[in-house]
């Protein structure tokens, strides 16, 4: 059946506009193996991918399948391909299948889900934890369920995850109020807090480690403001869980403010290496979200193999702290090679235009390295970038090769030359 003409024309017009603006995206099927940072790519896929970025970069591409080293994954600990994680998922699938396929509240919750919640609560030093199908769903539930009334004001950093933004939009449709403060600008936040009507309940929510800039929220200042203005502090710790802190407890542990954070939101799809989300919090907040969080109530629970794999990753996090130390040594090595500071395993190289970011990414692809070009709407216009993401599965040689290739492609200057055209963050 054909699409209605008005819709057909509109969709095609939108696609053409995206293509003209260098904003059109497509899917590239990769062939995963047993490495968290290396995949195979078929020659036709590589050609189409590179041509999409920069047709001139296709010359000299291999005609056979190639391997790519990934600097694009959020698998910061390399657990997704760890033998213990793979084995846990396989054993659970053979023993239990996928598990009950219903929402958690009507039968999809198993003893393994309960154990994972308990282990995550201990990791985050909270009373309880509630699992979600994704980190996106977790943020949506926290913001929309807690803040959908006219006597609540949400205060959100302007660079927060899209899931926080969408949760806040949903809350405002239910009469909640939203105030957005400039990125990490604590004076602006305090000005907004001071203007909040007396008697309003207040939620301040922020990413702990910002996914596109690689910088941290000012947790020390947020804690001081929390004491002064008595707001609920929610921390989206998606990119810091397992990465930060002596135990891998996240940014709050690293900065020594665990007890000052009311709600810890996290994901299992990044450093944990599997899939899903969670909210670690007080028992009363868990009960409320379980009964009022629509993205929890109306979603099918996580599959048993995924839960078993996450439990295996938590054990590895406890047993192999050297992985986290190695990751931070890689961060230091990359910062030294780039000649610019790096606060975290997320290191952006801002190149400006969408076309420049695509061209730079294509040059690296041609040389067997994948560093994604990040463009609007993920980042603001004029700030398109290469986003380097490090993993404990990388070696020092991997990082050295990346630095050398960035220089070879003139994306960063040769050592000793002045830096031009690349914003220091």
- On whether the CB atoms of residues 149 and 175 are closer than 8 A, the answer is yes
CA distance linking residue 233 with residue 166, whole number of Å: 18
358 to 64, 349, 382: CA distances (angstroms): 23, 12, 13
By C-alpha distance, which of 316, 230, 219 is closest to 258? 219
How much helix, strand and coil, in percent to the nearest 5, is found in the chain? 45, 15, 40
Q: Which of 113, 124, 161, 270 is catalytic?
A: 270
CA distance 228 to 217: 18
Catalytic annotation on 239? Answer: yes
The two structure tokens encoding residue 337: 């090679």
The count of other CB atoms within 10 Å of the CB of residue 421 is 12
SS3 234: strand
Q: Provide the token pair at 77.
A: 């600990």
Q: Helix, strand or coil for residue 279?
A: strand
- Spatial CB neighbours of 55, under 8 Å, sequence gap ≥ 6: none
CA dihedral (139, 145, 146, 149) positive or negative = positive
* Closest among 39, 14, 19 to 28, alpha carbons compared: 39
Chain position carrying tokens 């403010």: 257
For tokens 């998606």, the residue is: 238
Pseudo-torsion of CA 301, 305, 308, 310, nearest 10°?
-70
Among residues 57, 163, 208, 211, the one annotated as catalytic is: 211
DSSP letters for 195-229: HSPTT-EEEEEEESB-TTT--B--HHHHHHHHHHH
Catalytic pick from 239, 275, 286, 326? 239
CA distances to 135, 237, 268, 277, 299 from 141, in Å: 10, 15, 16, 11, 11
* Residue 52, φ and ψ in degrees, nearest 5: -65, -35
Examine the residue annotation and report whether 47 is marked as an active-site residue of this protein.
no
Which residues are catalytically annotated? 211, 239, 270
């Amino acid at each position: 059946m054909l699409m209605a003409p008005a819709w057909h024309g509109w969709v095609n017009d939108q696609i053409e506009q995206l293509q003209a603006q260098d904003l059109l995206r497509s899917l590239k099927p990769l062939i995963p193996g047993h490495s968290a940072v290396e995949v195979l790519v078929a020659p036709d896929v590589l050609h189409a991918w590179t041509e999409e970025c920069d047709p001139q970069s296709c010359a000299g591409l291999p005609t056979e399948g190639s391997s790519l080293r990934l600097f694009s994954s959020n698998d910061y600990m390399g657990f997704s391909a760890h033998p213990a994680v793979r084995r846990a998922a396989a054993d659970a699938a053979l023993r239990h299948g996928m598990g009950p396929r219903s929402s958690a509240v009507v039968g999809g919750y198993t003893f393994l889900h309960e154990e994972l919640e308990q282990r995550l609560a201990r990791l985050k030093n909270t009373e309880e934890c509630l699992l979600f199908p994704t980190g996106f769903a977790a943020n949506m539930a926290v913001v929309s369920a807690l803040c959908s009334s006219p006597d609540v004001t949400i205060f959100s950093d302007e660079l927060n995850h899209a899931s926080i933004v969408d949760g806040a939009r949903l809350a405002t449709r239910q009469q909640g109020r939203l105030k957005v403060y400039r990125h990490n600008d604590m004076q602006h936040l305090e000005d907004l807090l001071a203007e909040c009507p007396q008697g309003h309940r207040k939620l301040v929510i922020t990413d702990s480690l910002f996914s596109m800039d690689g910088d941290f929220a000012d947790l020390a200042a947020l804690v001081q403001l929390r004491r002064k203005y008595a707001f609920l502090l929610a921390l989206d710790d998606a990119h810091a869980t397992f990465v930060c802190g002596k135990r891998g407890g996240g940014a709050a542990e690293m900065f020594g403010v665990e007890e000052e954070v009311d709600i810890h939101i996290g994901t299992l799809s990044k450093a944990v290496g599997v899939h899903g989300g969670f909210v670690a919090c007080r028992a009363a907040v868990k009960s409320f979200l379980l009964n009022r969080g629509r993205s929890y109530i109306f979603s099918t629970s996580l599959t048993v193999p995924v839960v078993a794999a996450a439990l295996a990753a938590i054990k590895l996090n406890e047993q192999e702290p050297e992985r986290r130390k190695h990751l931070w040594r890689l961060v230091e090595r990359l910062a030294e090679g780039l000649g610019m500071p790096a606060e975290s395993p997320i290191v952006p190289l801002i190149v400006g235009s969408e076309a420049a970011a695509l061209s730079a990414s294509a040059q690296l692809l041609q040389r067997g390295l994948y560093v994604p070009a990040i463009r609007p709407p993920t980042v603001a216009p004029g700030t398109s970038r290469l986003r380097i993401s490090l993993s404990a599965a990388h070696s020092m040689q991997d990082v050295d090769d990346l630095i050398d290739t960035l220089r070879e492609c003139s994306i960063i200057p040769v050592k000793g030359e002045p830096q031009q055209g690349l914003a220091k963050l």
